[in-house]
């Protein structure tokens, strides 16, 4: 999967989100359904769904891990704020993947008179961020192991991003080939994302503590 680039520009953190690549972790949704951005004019309330990460192989910081590092290096987040965040993470009393599970609900309903209808209920937690952005994390069955795997997604309104080309706004037109949406996260966006990662599982919590310690010691 293609990672989204995170950098520093004109006193701000900028996230470059590929919205047309089939291997990207970013897609655009309308009414909770993915849309073909090359064939549809984008609307201001369409949402970019970003399956965000903090590490890649070798525990190299990417995406929100990189955001946090840059925020500390450039004084957006102080050492005291990171220590307070670490204390919050360290004291998380419960984790999402242990307190919830995917369940099935059997019904008496039938499809075409002979097929029993069963509903699968997937737990989702949501955290509101800044300016219409929000986070959702949901449980998924692990593909090659027993248990659940929490997945975290940031949702960003199209009106909150600009294009990397001269056209500026994405609203009112289809996306161009290989177009990149640029998002400028706030401190609250970054801290909210880190806090959400920390409550997903014990592994996520341990990773976040390790990241904060690495950053403050750098």
Residue 76 lies in a domain: yes
pLDDT tens profile 13-61: 999 999 999 899 999 999 999 999 999 999 999 999 999 999 999 999 9
Residue 108 lies in a domain: no
Give the span between the Cα atoms of 214 and 218, in whole angstroms: 6
pLDDT tops 90 at residue 164: no
Residue 100 lies in a domain: no
CB 46 within 8 Å of CB 55: no
Give, for 128, the enclosing helix (H) or strand (E): strand 124-128
Identify the domain containing residue 70 by its residue range.
Answer: 5-92+124-217
Residue 12 lies in a domain: yes
Residue 183 lies in a domain: yes
Tokens for 213? 């310690």
Residue 101 lies in a domain: no
Per the prediction, the chain carries an average pLDDT of 95
The alpha carbon of 98 is separated from its chain's Cα centroid by a whole number of angstroms, namely 20
3-state secondary structure of 193: helix
Residue 135 lies in a domain: yes
DSSP string, 32-96: TEE--TTTS-B-TT-EEEEE--SEETTTEE-HHHHHHHHHHHTTSS-HHHHHHHHHHHHT----H
pLDDT tens profile 89-110: 999 999 999 999 999 999 999 9
The residue with greater pLDDT, 140 or 72, is 72
How many distinct structural domains can be found in the chain? 1
CB 70 within 8 Å of CB 190: no
Burial class (CB in 10 A: 0-12, 13-18, 19+), 105: exposed
Residue 186 lies in a domain: yes
pLDDT tens profile 124-140: 999 999 899 999 999 98
């Amino acid at each position: 999967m293609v990672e989204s680039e995170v950098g520093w520009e004109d006193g701000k953190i900028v996230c470059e989100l590929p919205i047309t690549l089939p291997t990207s972790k970013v897609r655009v949704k309308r009414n909770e359904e993915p849309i073909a951005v090359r064939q549809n004019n984008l609307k201001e309330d369409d949402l970019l769904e970003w399956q965000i990460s903090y590490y890649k192989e070798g525990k190299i910081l990417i995406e929100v891990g990189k955001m946090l590092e840059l925020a500390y290096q450039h004084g957006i987040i102080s050492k005291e704020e990171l220590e307070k965040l670490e204390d919050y993470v360290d004291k998380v009393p419960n984790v999402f993947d242990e307190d919830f599970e995917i369940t099935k609900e059997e019904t008496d309903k039938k499809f075409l008179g002979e097929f029993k209808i069963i509903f699968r209920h997937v737990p989702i937690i949501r955290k509101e961020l800044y300016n219409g952005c929000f986070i959702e994390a949901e449980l998924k069955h692990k593909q090659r192991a027993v248990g659940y795997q929490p997945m975290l997604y940031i949702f960003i309104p199209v009106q909150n991003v600009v294009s990397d080309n001269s056209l500026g706004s994405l609203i009112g037109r289809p996306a161009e080939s290989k177009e990149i949406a640029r998002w400028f996260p706030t401190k609250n966006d970054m801290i909210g994302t880190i806090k959400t990662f920390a409550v997903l599982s014990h592994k996520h919590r341990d990773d976040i503590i390790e990241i904060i310690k690495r950053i403050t010691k750098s």
